[in-house]
Amino acid sequence: MSTISKPVAFIIGYGSNLGPAIARKFRSEGFNVAVSARTLDEKAAKEDGYLSIQADFGDIASVRNAFDRLESELGPAAAVVYNAYSSNNTSPSDPLANSYETFLNNVNVTGVNVYEVARRTKAGFEKLPAETPRAFIGTGNLTPWVHFHTLLGLSVGKRAMANIVEASARAYGPQGYRFYFAHEVKGSTGGPQPQPTGQAHADVFYRIWQQKEQGPWEVCFTETGALYDRAAGKVVA
């Protein structure tokens, strides 16, 4: 099977920005790559050498089908990147303005359904050869630590993902099943990066995958791919 010769990367949330940069990086490092979103250009993905898996990660049956298809066509993934998110802004003066259904979709797509993604990821990790590095990397942002007035649904979702990642990293990281919440900040301010940088995500995510030990579950980096220490408020490497 392909997993013996090439590791598999599964990029969930393959849009116009981060997904393609991350997929290209893993492909260039010798991975078989599968990409997923609700809408995909299957022809273009095929030309790029990717398996395209159409799926709605807001729908748990669709999440499970996506992993079934991944495993039957390419095998279990050694790198799973969760980049999908859902956000409907509110006004700062009325954070409860969105309907429950809108809020719930934001939370499920961004975070809660990552619980099932993490379960399927770990089950896949257990099937890989002992020497294969393996990591789940969720694309994060500052919302677990900083209050953003208009982003309640996104923020609750990212906090859920951060919790799932932290618990999984603590429990399974020592066995080599590593979990990360990785996010970019502006190097000059440590603030949010409204247009996150594809190349920095790609380089940092591949570096994370190569790491031998779990290390911190939060990985904060800048637009150059340098690590950023949030507590100290400065670039560290």
Ligand X SMILES: NC(=O)c1ccc[n+]([C@@H]2O[C@H](COP(=O)([O-])OP(=O)(O)OC[C@H]3O[C@@H](n4cnc5c(N)ncnc54)[C@H](OP(=O)(O)O)[C@@H]3O)[C@@H](O)[C@H]2O)c1
Q: How far apart are CA 108 and CA 124, in angstroms?
A: 22
Residue number with CB closer to ligand X (32 or 193): 193
Question: What H or E segment, with its residue span, contains residue 136?
Answer: strand 135-139
Residue number with CB closer to ligand X (3 or 158): 158
- Residue from 48, 148, 192, 199 touching ligand X (CB under 6 A): that is 192
> What is the contact mask toward ligand X in residues 137 to 176, using x (rule: CB under 6 A)?
--x-x-----------------------------------
Q: Does 225 contact ligand X by CB under 6 A?
A: no
- Residue from 4, 5, 39, 237 touching ligand X (CB under 6 A): that is 39
Q: How far apart are CA 219 and CA 183, in angstroms?
A: 6
Q: Helix (H, G, I), strand (E, B), or coil: what is residue 42?
A: helix
Give the distance, in angstroms, between the CA of residue 178 and the centroid of all CA atoms in the same chain: 13
Question: Given the rule CB under 6 A, which of 35-43, 68-76, 89-97, 212-220 is the region that contacts ligand X?
Answer: 35-43
Please work out the total of residues on this chain that contact ligand X, with binding judged by CB under 6 A. 27
Query: What are residue 157's phi and psi, to 5 degrees?
Result: -65, -45
- Residue from 7, 13, 75, 76 touching ligand X (CB under 6 A): that is 13
Q: How far is the CB of 202 from ligand X (least distance, A)?
A: 11
Q: Which residue has the tokens 């990785």?
A: 182
Q: How far is the CB of 66 from ligand X (least distance, A)?
A: 9
211, 179 contact by CB (below 8 A): no
Q: Helix (H, G, I), strand (E, B), or coil: what is residue 192?
A: strand
Q: Which residue has the tokens 């993905």?
A: 45
Q: How far apart are CA 190 and CA 63, in angstroms?
A: 34
Q: Give the binding site for ligand X (CB under 6 A).
A: 13-19, 37-39, 55-58, 83-86, 109, 139, 141, 183-184, 192-194, 196
